[in-house]
Structure 1
Amino acid sequence: MKIVVTGSLGNISKPLTEMLVKSGHQVTLISTDPGKAQQIRAMDAQPAIGNISDLPFLIKTFTGADVVYCMTPLDFTATDLSVWNSQVDNYILAIRETGVQRVIMLSGWVAHLLSSVQPEKKFEALPGVAVTFMRPGPFYSNFYHLKDMIRQQGMIVSNYGGDDMIAFVAPEDIAAAVAEEINSRVADSLKVTYVASEELTCNQAAQIIGEAIGMPGLQWITASGEQVKQGLEASGISARVAELLVEMQENMHNGKAQKDYYLNRPVLGERKLRDFAREYATWYHQN
């Protein structure tokens, strides 16, 4: 099949491209960086250098594709979500214009619960298109963003935590789940697939990370949404994005995320938090 992958050489898109090429597919990988074209070709994939904000480029790249994998990174410094929303709209317009019949959309664990943004609803409106929403839990790599908090406060603080059960996930396991979904050739009009590597309470996750970095007893404390919002803004995140993150976290604390997840529980991926924690500890002490 001819498959278009977005996300450049990121933690999901790079291994996904490698898996799809190995399975015999013709893969086009979108990147904004011309300097990555050679590396993409070395993976036996075709580079498409451009921006998903450029609708004519997206239409040209999607033309003739059997499957497109769509992801939209969130800019934490954006003052509003207009660019993010316009990128989602561009996907919809390009899919309609080119007649792509199958879409894999990287969503999120709580995306369907959010009131402020509803990207899945836009994809649901595509007539005659088989759409799979991949809903991974919080990434292991999110711990990289918590380094300063752990060092300065000696704890992790968010408006979820403690004994909240979280379906943590490794990006590599997301890539494997997306590849499996594409290779399954399932033609459902709409499908939801959760992705998780390990189910842990926040306290259990904090203990694993803490032991790895030499801080046994590291705690994951739950604070109010307003406290978390103020802390995010103080760290340079815009007020609008901070509100969105707080809304996401609230749905992980109030049990709504876990309710639907348990009804559609996936087979857990291979990479566990302790595997990641060893790498994280090396990085943590070097940075």
Structure 2
Amino acid sequence: MNIVLTGSLGNIGKPLTVALVKKGHTVTVISSKPERQKEIEALGAKAAIGSIEDVGFLSETFKNADIVYLMETLETAGSFFDKNVDFIATINKIGQNYKQAVETAGVKKVVHLSSVSGNTNQGNGILIFHYNVEKILQQLPADVSVKFMRPVSFYTNMFAFIRGIKAQGAIVQNYGGDEKAPWVSPLDIAEVVAEEMDSPFHGRTIRYIASDEFSPNEAASLLGEAIGKQDLTWQVIPDQQLLDNWQAAGMNEQIAQGFIEMQASMRGGLLFEDYYKNRPALGKVKLTDFVKQFAAVYHQS
């Protein structure tokens, strides 16, 4: 099949590209960075260099595609610290671009990378943009099949803990404790997406993706052991205190507030209510696997 991927060669895009090429598909990878072209081609895929904010470019690139894989991201490095960025509005516009390009190109099969809590616009903070884009794509004509992929918290988000561990000797967040929550490896997401692309498409479907379930305290214990800090703890501070810390570091106010609200909804499990109602089989990559990668990044930083 002819498959077009957005997301360049990120944590999901690269293993997904490798898997699809290995299966014999013709793969085109969209990237905003010309320097990515050689790397994309080295994997056996075609490179389409352009912006997902350019609906004309998207429409042309989607032509003759059997399947398109859609994910939303800001293309400018450091956008979370750009105080002039309206993150939600920008992502909503990308969602509208995707919808228009899919219709213009006549694509009939779409796989969309959404997120846990993509089912609601209440209590999910920054993740509301996934709900918004799901609603936009739901407006596609009935003959366009869409598979909404809803992964949970990414393991790779934990790399953001490194700075705090080195500065404060602890993981400091506005949630914590012994209540388990689901996490996922980008490698397991790529595997599920590749599997879904080779499976029949019928209407609009939803699939949650997770790799492991563990508590913040369990995570601190395993991460600490991996980096040689057996006394590493996960400390919980008030929402406002964490928000103040992030804004003092220069984070965009809308984004900082959105993450605070999202993480607050993890307390008591609100963020994961629909996940647990539609709980998937867990993937292959466990926390015990990821901590090795975390330790390598920690010691290199």
Do Structure 1 and Structure 2 share a fold, with TM-score over 0.5? yes
Partner of 1:108: 115
TM-score (norm 2): 0.90
Aligned counterpart in structure 2 of residue 76 of structure 1, from 80, 85, 105: 80
- Please say which of residues 225-234 and 132-141 is displaced more in the overlay: 225-234
Aligned counterpart in structure 2 of residue 142 of structure 1, from 142, 157, 168: 157
TM-score (norm 1): 0.94
Aligned counterpart in structure 2 of residue 88 of structure 1, from 91, 95, 108: 95
In structure 1, distance between residues paired with 2:121 and 2:262: 7
The 3-state SS of whatever aligns with 2:172 is strand
Structural RMSD (CA): 1.6
Structure-2 change in CA distance of 1:22 and 1:262 (3 Å)? same
Partner of 1:253: 267
The 3-state SS of whatever aligns with 2:14 is helix
Q: Give 2:66's aligned amino acid.
A: D
Aligned-pair identity (%): 44
- Please say which of residues 171-180 and 246-255 is displaced more in the overlay: 246-255
Partner of 2:177: 162
Q: 2:261 aligned with 1:268, yes or no?
A: no
In structure 1, distance between residues paired with 2:176 and 2:148: 26
Deviations for 1:88-122, whole angstroms, at most 9, x for unmatched residues? Answer: 21111111212211111111123333445322211
- TM-superposed CA distance for 1:160, in Å, is 2.2
Alignment of 1:181-200 (within 5 A): 181-185=196-200, 187-200=201-214
Partner of 2:239: 225
Partner of 2:2: 2
- TM-superposed CA distance for 1:47, in Å, is 0.7
Gaps (5+ residues) in structure 2?
123-127
Partner of 1:173: 188
Q: 2:17 aligned with 1:13, yes or no?
A: no
- Please say which of residues 162-171 and 223-232 is displaced more in the overlay: 223-232
Structure-2 change in CA distance of 1:276 and 1:109 (3 Å)? same
Q: Is the 8 A contact 2:5 2:69 kept in 1?
A: yes
In structure 1, distance between residues paired with 2:253 and 2:93: 19
- Please say which of residues 141-150 and 255-264 is displaced more in the overlay: 255-264
The 3-state SS of whatever aligns with 1:191 is strand
Partner of 1:24: 24
Q: Give 1:34's aligned amino acid.
A: P
In structure 2, distance between residues paired with 1:251 and 1:277: 25
In structure 2, distance between residues paired with 1:173 and 1:152: 32
The 3-state SS of whatever aligns with 2:102 is helix
Gaps (5+ residues) in structure 1?
none
Q: 2:68 aligned with 1:62, yes or no?
A: no
Q: Is the 8 A contact 2:20 2:27 kept in 1?
A: yes
Partner of 1:281: 295
- Please say which of residues 48-57 and 134-143 is displaced more in the overlay: 134-143
- TM-superposed CA distance for 1:166, in Å, is 1.7
The 3-state SS of whatever aligns with 1:188 is coil
Q: 2:224 aligned with 1:210, yes or no?
A: yes
The 3-state SS of whatever aligns with 1:157 is strand
Q: Give 2:170's aligned amino acid.
A: M
Partner of 2:125: none
In structure 2, distance between residues paired with 1:188 and 1:150: 46
The 3-state SS of whatever aligns with 1:131 is strand
Q: Is the 8 A contact 2:262 2:271 kept in 1?
A: no
In structure 1, distance between residues paired with 2:44 and 2:71: 21
